[in-house]
């Protein structure tokens, strides 16, 4: 048998519905305690601890302590991209062919995908940048063109924000509900932070959905017109 990466071993921890729900909950980028994860998934603390430990050992979660509490979050942006892609593919199962995402319109329009914008607005941002020649696919992956860099400098991003670094500036991320790419990477994180700081988007307690404000809608229309 030809050697290949052990995909089955990687995917096995996510085969349990409770563990799959845990990582889905953490897709909003927030850290949670085992007790909070257990309450959200309907598990007792002991059972939730076992499931969380399995995910931690498999490399899907990381932990950090603050005072007496230990908080769990997704281990990396790469894990978040994997979970989002799996959610998109899971929605294509034949038994669910008529349902292409959540019924909640807010989740479909704008939501958190770990540390960047997803949903219809996230896909619109990506398509708008692509249509204007601001994004380019190169052998090294997705990147900004010189016109794209000038555009974002005009929006107030620093040259240091756009400089080469260990982590990619731009990445494709398959959107769960739209089944098209939205923008991840450092630029995706920077843009989400900027939209929140300018009052375009507001987070909701207990949900990945983002509220799009009136200021945000007009600002988005100016900066990222539909392709």
pLDDT per residue as tens, the chain (227 positions): 456 677 888 889 999 999 999 999 999 999 999 999 999 999 999 999 999 999 999 999 999 998 888 999 999 999 998 999 898 888 655 444 444 456 688 999 999 999 999 999 999 999 999 999 999 998 888 999 999 999 999 999 999 999 888 889 999 999 999 999 999 999 999 999 999 999 999 999 888 999 999 999 999 999 999 98
| Separation CA 108–CA 97 (nearest Å) | 17
As a three-state string, the secondary structure of 26-51 is HHHCCCECHHHHHHHHCCCHHHHHHH
The C-alpha torsion from 72 through 111 and 17 to 42, rounded to 10°, is 70
Q: Is 123 helix (H, G, I), strand (E, B) or coil?
A: helix
**The pLDDT value given to residue 101:** 53
**The pLDDT value given to residue 131:** 97
122-158 pLDDT per residue, tens = 999 999 999 999 999 988 889 999 999 999 999 999 9
95-104 pLDDT per residue, tens = 444 444 566 8
- What is the DSSP code string of 39-96? HHHT--HHHHHHHHHHHHHTTSEEEEEETTEEEEEES-HHHHHHHHHHHHHHTTSGGG
Q: Which two tokens stand for residue 13?
A: 């921890």
**The pLDDT value given to residue 138:** 85
**The pLDDT value given to residue 102:** 62
| Separation CA 135–CA 9 (nearest Å) | 35
**The pLDDT value given to residue 99:** 47
Locus of tokens 């941002």: 125
Q: Which two tokens stand for residue 19?
A: 């563990």
**The pLDDT value given to residue 140:** 82
- H or E element: which one contains 1? none
Contact present, 129 and 193 (Cβ < 8 Å): no
**The pLDDT value given to residue 98:** 44
Q: Which two tokens stand for residue 118?
A: 């997803």
Crossing angle of the two packed helices 214-223 and 120-131, in degrees rounded to 10: 20
- What is the Cβ-side half-sphere exposure of residue 81, based on CA atoms within 13 angstroms? 14
């Amino acid at each position: 048998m030809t050697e290949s990466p052990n995909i089955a071993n990687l995917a096995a921890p996510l085969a349990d519905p409770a563990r799959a729900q845990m990582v889905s909950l953490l897709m909003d980028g927030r850290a949670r305690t085992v007790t909070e994860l257990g309450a959200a998934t309907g598990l007792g603390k002991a059972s939730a601890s076992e499931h969380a430990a399995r995910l931690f050992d498999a490399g899907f979660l990381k932990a950090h302590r603050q005072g007496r509490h230990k908080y769990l979050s997704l281990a990396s942006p790469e894990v978040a991209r994997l979970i989002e892609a799996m959610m998109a593919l899971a929605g294509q199962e034949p038994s669910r062919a008529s349902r292409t995402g959540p019924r909640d319109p807010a989740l479909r329009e704008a939501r958190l995908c770990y540390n960047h914008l997803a949903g219809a607005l996230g896909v619109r941002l990506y398509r708008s940048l692509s249509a204007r020649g601001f994004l380019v696919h190169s052998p090294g992956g997705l990147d900004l063109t010189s016109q794209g860099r000038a555009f974002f400098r005009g929006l107030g991003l620093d040259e240091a924000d756009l400089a080469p670094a260990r982590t990619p500036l731009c990445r494709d991320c398959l959107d769960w509900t739209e089944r098209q790419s939205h923008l991840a990477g450092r630029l995706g994180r920077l843009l989400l932070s900027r939209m929140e700081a300018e009052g375009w988007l507001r987070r909701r307690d207990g949900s990945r959905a983002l509220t799009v404000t009136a200021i945000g809608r007009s600002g988005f229309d100016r900066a990222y017109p539909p392709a």
